[in-house]
Amino acid sequence: MNKQPARFVKKNSRRDLDIVISEQNGVRLLHLGGNMTQSAMRINAPNELELLYTQCMMSFLLFNPSPAQVVMIGLGGGSLAKFVYHRILQTKTIVIENNQHVIDAATHFFELPANNDRFQVVLADGAQFVEDDALNVDILMVDGFDDGQQIAALCSQSFYDRAYEALGSEGILVVNLLSRDKRVHTYLQRIGESFHGRVVAMLSEPQGNLIVFAFKRSPGKVAWKSLRSRATILAEQYHLPFPDFVSKLRKYTESHGLYLEI
Residues found in the chain: 262
For residue 184, what are the contacts with CB-CB under 8 A and spacing of at least 6? 177, 178, 210
Return the beta strands (E) in the chain as ranges. Answer: 3-11, 16-24, 27-32, 37-42, 69-73, 92-97, 119-123, 137-142, 145-146, 149-150, 167-178, 199-203, 209-215
Dist. CA 145–CA 132, nearest whole Å: 22
Q: How far apart are CA 6 and CA 254, in angstroms?
A: 44
**Three-class secondary structure of residue 181 per DSSP:** coil
DSSP at 225: H
**φ, ψ dihedrals at 94, nearest 5°:** -125, 125
DSSP 3-state of 66? coil
3-state secondary structure of 51: coil
- Is 146 a residue of the active site? no
Q: Does residue 28 contact residue 220 with C-beta atoms inside 8 Å? A: no
**224-238 helix and 242-255 helix, angle to the nearest 10 degrees:** 150
CA end-to-end span of the chain: 47
Q: Give the number of other Cβ atoms within 10 Å of residue 226's Cβ.
A: 13
Of the candidates 117, 125, 143, 181, the residue annotated as catalytic is 143
**Catalytic residue IDs:** 143
